[in-house]
Amino acid sequence: MRFTSETSTDGVREQLFTLGEIPGVLWTPEGATGARPLIVLGHGGGQHKKAPDILARAHRSVTECGFAAVAVDVPGHGDRPPHEEYNRIATENQARVAAGAELAPLIAGFQALVARQTVPEWRAVLDAVRQLAHVGAGPVGYWGISLGCGLGVPFVAAEPRVRAAVLGLGGALAAAEAAARITVPVEFLVQWDDERVPREQGLALFDALASAEKTLHANPGAHGELPAFELEGALRFFARHLA
Amino acid sequence: MRFTSETSTDGVREQLFTLGEIPGVLWTPEGATGARPLIVLGHGGGQHKKAPDILARAHRSVTECGFAAVAVDVPGHGDRPPHEEYNRIATENQARVAAGAELAPLIAGFQALVARQTVPEWRAVLDAVRQLAHVGAGPVGYWGISLGCGLGVPFVAAEPRVRAAVLGLGGALAAAEAAARITVPVEFLVQWDDERVPREQGLALFDALASAEKTLHANPGAHGELPAFELEGALRFFARHLA
C-alpha cells in the first residue's frame, strides 16, 4: 500500500493511495489514532472513488460518527485504465438494447462478471487499511447502490468483517444467490419508479437477503433521484450497528 | 377542556383531560412555556391512549425533541364506555370471518365507519390543545399505525394543521380515497409478512398517497412485530419536518 497524497478539509484527513493496481482514497478524522468502525463505499456506474455523493457520505461518516471511510475505483473507472474486455461487453450490450433487448439482465450479467474481480480487490483493501494505526481492526460497514449494489452484494456475502450494509437500486437477477448468503443487518433502498431496475426485481433482491434484520426504504422517483435524507438514515443505521 | 390529573416523570409532564366525552392525555416538557410542535398519537385496535408504545413515543417526542404529544381514547376503547353499534358490528364481523369471509375488507369498512366520528373529535382536540400556553399553535405531526392508520388517513387528509405523518400497517381498502388528498410528507410502515393487511393492499395505500415526499419502510415480520428502531426513525422524520 502506497500513499500518494494527503490533504485535510474541515477536520477530515484524506489520503490517496494505490494498492497494486487499485487506486483508492481513505478518509479519517484529522488527528485520529486508534481503531474505529470503517465504511467501505462502492461507487456507481460511470462514477469514481471521489464522486460527489461518495465524498459527501465519507465526510459525514467521519465528522458525525468518527468513523473511517474508504473507496476505490472500480476497474475501468476513475484513475484506472480502460478495461478492454469490459468496454467490449458494454458496447455489445448497448447495441443489444438498441436492438430491443431487455436492459436489466444485461446489467446483471455485466455486474456479476466485474464482481469476480472486485470482491478480491476490496478484500485486499480491507486487509491493508485495517493494518493502519488510525483505522485498525474495528467493525466494517458497506454502502453501495446501483453498480455499488451489484458489486457489493457478493462482497458483503464473502466478507465476514462486514457487519452491516446499505444496498439498493439493484435487482435480483445478478445477485440473488449471493444475497441468500448475507445475514448481517441491511438497509435496502428502492426507487419506486426506477427505469433501470424493475420494481419487482428490486423487491426480489430484498426478499432474497437472509438477514434477520433488513429494512426496505422505498421512495418515489427514478434511478438517479434518491432523496438526500436517505444519507442521514444510512448514517444512523451504521451508527446503530457499528458504533 | 377539563384537566383531571397531573404528574411528572423523567422531565415529562403528563396531564389527563376530558374534552366533552373524549378522555385524553397531554405530554409536554416539564416547565415548558411557549409554542412547540405537537404530535398526535393514534392508538391501535383494542389499545388505549396510554398503551406502552404510545407512552414510549410520547416520552421520546418530549425528551428528545422538546415536542408536545397528545393521545385520546378511540370510541369504545380505554376509559370510554362500550359502544353498542361498534360492538355489534365487531361481533358480526368475527362471525363472518369464522364463516370464511375475508378479514381485510371487514376491518376496512369498520375503520371507515369509526373515522366518521374520530376525525371531528381529533380536530376538536387540536383546537383545544393548541390554545394552551405550553403547546401553542406550532406545526402538528400525526403518528398512527393499524387502527391508528385507518383513522389517521382521513384525519390527516382533513386537517391542514398536520404537516407530516407516520402511517402504516393499513391497507388501501378503507383509506385510498382519503390518501389521495394527503400531500404532506409521509413515512409509511409496512410489515412484510402482515397477516392482517395483505402486502399488496399496504403498498396500494402507499401508492395512493399524493405526497411528493413519501418513504416506505418495510420490515420482515407479522402485524405486531414492528421493529423498535422504527421509533427512532419516526422521531428523526418529525424532527426534520416540524422542528
The DSSP secondary structure of A135-150, one letter per residue, reads T-S--EEEEEETHHHH
Residue B204 carries which side chain, given as an amino acid letter? A
Residue with cell 412555556: B33
* H-state helical runs in chain B: 52-65, 84-98, 103-129, 147-150, 152-158, 172-179, 199-208, 229-242
Mean pLDDT of A138-154: 97
- Mean pLDDT score of chain A: 96
Residue B52 pLDDT: 95
pLDDT per residue over B52-94, tens digit each?
999 999 999 999 999 999 999 999 999 999 999 999 999 999 9
According to the model, what pLDDT value does residue B94 have?
Answer: 92
Give the β-pairing of B22-29 and B38-42. Answer: unpaired
Cβ contact B218–A218 (<8 Å) = yes
pLDDT, tens digit, 9 for 90 and up, residues B133-147? 999 999 999 999 999
Query: For the domain with range B2-81+110-242, which CATH number is right: 2.60.40.10, 3.60.15.10, 3.40.50.12780, 3.40.50.1820?
Result: 3.40.50.1820
> What is the rounded distance in angstroms from the CA atom of residue B31 to the CA atom of residue B26?
14
Q: Do B233 and A229 touch (CB under 8 A)?
A: no
The helices-and-strands tally (H runs, E runs) of chain A is 8, 9
B139 to each of A152, B35, B127, B135, how far by Cα in Å?
A: 41, 9, 13, 10
Domain coordinates of chain A in residue numbers? 2-242
Q: Sign of the C-alpha dihedral, residues A114, A116, A121, A126?
A: positive
Q: Do A233 and B233 touch (CB under 8 A)?
A: yes
How many other β-carbons are positioned within 10 Å of the β-carbon of residue B9? 11
Residue A132 at interface with chain B, using a CB cutoff of 8 Å: no
Max CA distance (Å), chain A: 55
> Contacts of residue A217 in chain B, CB cutoff 8 Å?
215-217
Answer yes or no: is pLDDT of B172 > 90: no
Q: A166 is written with which cell numbers? A: 446499505
Whether chain A has a CB inside 8 Å of the CB on B200: the answer is no
Q: Is pLDDT at B237 greater than 80 in this prediction?
A: yes
Burial class (CB in 10 A: 0-12, 13-18, 19+), B212: exposed
The angle at the Cα of B124, spanning B122 to B127, to the nearest 5 degrees, equals: 115
Of B192, B215, B229, the CB nearest to A219: B215
Nearest Cβ partner for A240 among B206, B214, B229: B229
The class of domain A2-242 in CATH terms is alpha beta
SS3 A164: strand
| Cβ within 8 Å of residue A120, ≥6 positions away | none
- Backbone phi, then psi, for B88, in 5-degree steps? -60, -45
Torsions phi, psi for B144 (to 5 deg): -170, 135
All three cell numbers of A88, joined, read 467490449
User: Does the interface predicted TM-score (ipTM) exceed 0.85?
Assistant: yes
Query: What does the alpha-carbon distance between residue A84 and residue A87 come to, in Å, rounded to a whole number?
Result: 5
CB–CB of B155/B118 below 8 Å?
yes
β partners of residue A17: A3, A24
Q: What are phi and psi of A181, to 5 degrees?
A: -100, 0
CA distances from A175 to A115, A159, A164, A208 (A): 10, 15, 17, 9
Computed over every residue of chain B, the mean pLDDT equals 96
pLDDT higher than threshold 80 for residue A6: yes
pLDDT at residue A240 in the model? 96
The residue count of chain B comes to 243
